[in-house]
């Protein structure tokens, strides 16, 4: 089954893992210490993040370090941008209405 970035970010644990590995590359054990779950559960989340290309693996000796794949995050940002523009337009319209109401009260 082909997964996409939106499936990856749908889970709160995976979003928390993304936040951790965005700051620095971490081993699965270091990541697991931040959660009240098993190391196997964290590994499953890391596998999904890797399949979705949101995380990348780097082998350093016997350790595997996971880090965030920034380019893939841009796909999420691009999708969100369309909604950001809609909300900015609505907020600007609301500002205009509030300004009109305020000036009419004077």
Map out the domains of the chain with their CATH numbers: 5-105 (1.10.10.10)
Q: DSSP letter at 2?
A: -
Does pTM surpass 0.85? Answer: no
Mean pLDDT of 22-51: 95
- For residues 35 and 42, the answer to whether their CB atoms sit within 8 Å is yes
Compute how many other C-beta atoms are within 10 angstroms of the C-beta atom of residue 54: 26
pLDDT at 4 over 90: no
Give the pLDDT band of residue 105 (cuts 50, 70, 90).
Answer: confident
3-class SS of residue 26:
strand
The DSSP secondary structure of 51-93, one letter per residue, reads HTTSEEEEEETTEEEEEE-HHHHHHHHHHHHHHHHHHHHHHHH
- Structure-block tokens of residue 17: 């893992």
């Amino acid at each position: 089954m082909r997964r996409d970035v939106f499936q990856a970010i749908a889970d709160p644990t995976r979003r928390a893992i993304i936040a951790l590995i965005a700051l620095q590359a971490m081993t699965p054990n270091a990541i697991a210490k931040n959660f009240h779950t098993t190391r196997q559960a964290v590994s499953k989340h890391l596998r999904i993040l890797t399949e979705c290309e949101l995380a990348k693996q780097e082998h350093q000796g016997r350790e595997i370090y996971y880090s965030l794949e920034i380019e893939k995050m841009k796909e999420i940002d691009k999708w969100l941008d369309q909604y950001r523009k809609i909300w900015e337009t609505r907020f600007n319209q609301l500002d205009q209405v509030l300004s009109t109401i305020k000036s009419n009260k004077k």
